[in-house]
């Protein structure tokens, strides 16, 4: 992959085999649907498609690729819900774009950076969903809840734990 024009020259752009990206997306979607059967209470806090979108956005650091990947993941996730198609698509498009834009400017491989960025982008992801639900569907609800904060924390911890495993799949 060619580094984005706005990327800092010292920031490394990572490459992945297309099969790795497709496999990770596929696995995340399968687990997202399957986990609620295994862990009915815990699974509701985990957003694996979001984590995959964020990881490849931060790593590949090309905003167009990031947002397109986010859109595809989001639309597929929408297809597995009973809701309108496009809600997760919108949220993950924003996450993919934001992550790849930031990934091209700062070093995002440090665990602390990953923890903070995952939490931040989770809030953005949920914020976009909330705005879309309010403006397009007319659904109103509380946004900043304990549930949201717990989910943000859990996903941030999962990112710190599992992103290094995905790092090993980078092309050398």
Partner 1 sequence: MLPITSRHRPLVVLAATMLVQVLLLAVQIKRDQDVRLIRVWAVHLITPVQDVASWTWAKLAGAWQGYVALRGTYRENQALQQENQQLKLRLAQLEARAAEAERLAALLDFRHNYPDYPMVFARVIGASADRGTRILFVARGASDGLAKAMPVITPDGVVGRVEQVFAGTAQVLLLTDKESGVGAMLENSRTQGVIRGSGAPTLTLEYIVNEQPVAVGERVLTSGQDQIFPKGLPIGTVLHAEPGTELRSPFQKIVVRPSARLDRLEEVIVLLAREEMVPAEPRAALPAEARPARPPQ
Shortest reach from residue 31's CB to partner 1, in Å: 9
CB 99 within 8 A of CB 57: yes
Cβ nearer to partner 1, comparing 88 with 121 = 88
Cα distance between residue 82 and residue 147, in whole Å? 21
Shortest reach from residue 166's CB to partner 1, in Å: 20
Shortest reach from residue 86's CB to partner 1, in Å: 4
Cβ nearer to partner 1, comparing 36 with 162 = 36
Shortest reach from residue 131's CB to partner 1, in Å: 11
Cα distance between residue 107 and residue 7, in whole Å? 11
Cβ nearer to partner 1, comparing 43 with 157 = 43
Cβ nearer to partner 1, comparing 132 with 166 = 132
Cβ nearer to partner 1, comparing 59 with 164 = 59
CB 70 within 8 A of CB 97: yes
For binding to partner 1 (CB under 8 A), which residues are involved?
Answer: 4-6, 26, 29-30, 32-34, 36-38, 40, 43-44, 49, 63-64, 67-68, 71, 75-90, 93-94, 97, 101, 132, 136-137
- Nearest Cα neighbor of 93 from 60, 64, 70, 62 is 70
CB 116 within 8 A of CB 82: no
Sign of CA dihedral 122, 25, 65, 172: positive
For residue 95, the number of C-alpha atoms closer than 13 Å in the C-beta half-sphere is 34
């Amino acid at each position: 992959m060619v580094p984005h024009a706005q990327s800092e020259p010292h920031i490394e752009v990572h490459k992945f085999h297309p099969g790795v990206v497709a496999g990770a997306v596929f696995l995340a979607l399968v687990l997202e649907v399957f986990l609620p059967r295994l862990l009915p209470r815990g699974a509701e806090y985990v957003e694996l498609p979001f984590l995959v979108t964020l990881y490849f956005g931060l790593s590949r650091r090309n905003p167009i690729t990031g947002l397109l990947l986010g859109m595809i993941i989001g639309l597929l996730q929408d297809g597995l819900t009973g809701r309108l198609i496009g809600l997760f698509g919108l949220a993950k498009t924003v996450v993919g774009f934001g992550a790849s834009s930031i990934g091209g400017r700062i070093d995002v491989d440090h665990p602390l950076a990953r923890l903070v960025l995952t939490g931040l982008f989770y809030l953005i992801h949920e914020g976009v969903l909330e705005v879309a639900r309010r403006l397009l569907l007319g659904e109103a609800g509380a946004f900043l809840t304990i549930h949201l904060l717990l989910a943000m924390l859990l996903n941030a911890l999962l990112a710190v734990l599992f992103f290094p495993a995905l790092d090993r799949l980078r092309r050398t």
